[in-house]
């Protein structure tokens, strides 16, 4: 999801959901051992200047109160894993798994044929 914030502080939803380019950027910004962002805000000034702010920890506000399925959150974090202590408390992984169960899940995923390394390395 991408938001634009105007100088008056008003925000507008630019894109409800991520585009292929957003996902490519999310992969490119992924750091093994720290993860990647959950959402971003693009601030566009009247003169056309812009600035991106990436959200790595906060729960993502969705339009109309809609939330992605729990499985979508889990699948996203499986693709861009982080150490347990860097997973926010609001994230479904913290409610559905123990630390060891999550580590085992990540190891199984990385050993599977479904694994796609976001860094482009295997």
At 84 the pLDDT is 98
Torsion of CA 53, 57, 61, 66, to 10 degrees: 130
| 56-60 contact pairs (CB < 8 A, 24+) | 57/88, 58/88, 59/88, 59/90, 60/1
120 within domain boundaries = no
- Domain residues for the domain of 91 are 2-111
Q: Which residues, including other chains, have CB under 8 Å from residue 106's CB and lie 6 or more apart? A: 78, 81
Whether residue 119 is contained in a domain is answered as no
45 domain-assigned? yes
The number of folded domains in the chain is 1
Residue 121's pLDDT is 55
pLDDT of residue 68: 74
Is 67 part of any domain? yes
* pTM exceeds 0.85: no
Residues of the chain with pLDDT under 50: 122
Residue 18 lies in a domain: yes
Report the pLDDT value the prediction gives residue 107, as an integer from 0 to 100: 95
């Amino acid at each position: 999801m991408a938001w634009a914030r105007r100088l008056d502080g008003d925000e507008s939803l630019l894109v409800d959901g991520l585009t292929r380019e957003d996902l490519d950027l999310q992969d490119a910004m992924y750091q093994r051992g720290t993860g990647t962002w959950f959402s971003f805000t693009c601030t566009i000034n009247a003169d056309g200047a812009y600035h991106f702010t990436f959200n790595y920890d906060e729960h993502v506000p969705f339009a109309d109160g809609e939330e992605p399925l729990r499985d979508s959150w889990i699948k996203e974090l499986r693709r861009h894993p982080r150490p347990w202590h860097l997973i926010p408390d609001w994230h479904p992984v913290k409610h559905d798994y123990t630390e060891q169960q999550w580590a085992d899940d990540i190891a199984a995923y990385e050993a599977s044929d479904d694994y796609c390394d976001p860094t482009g390395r295997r």
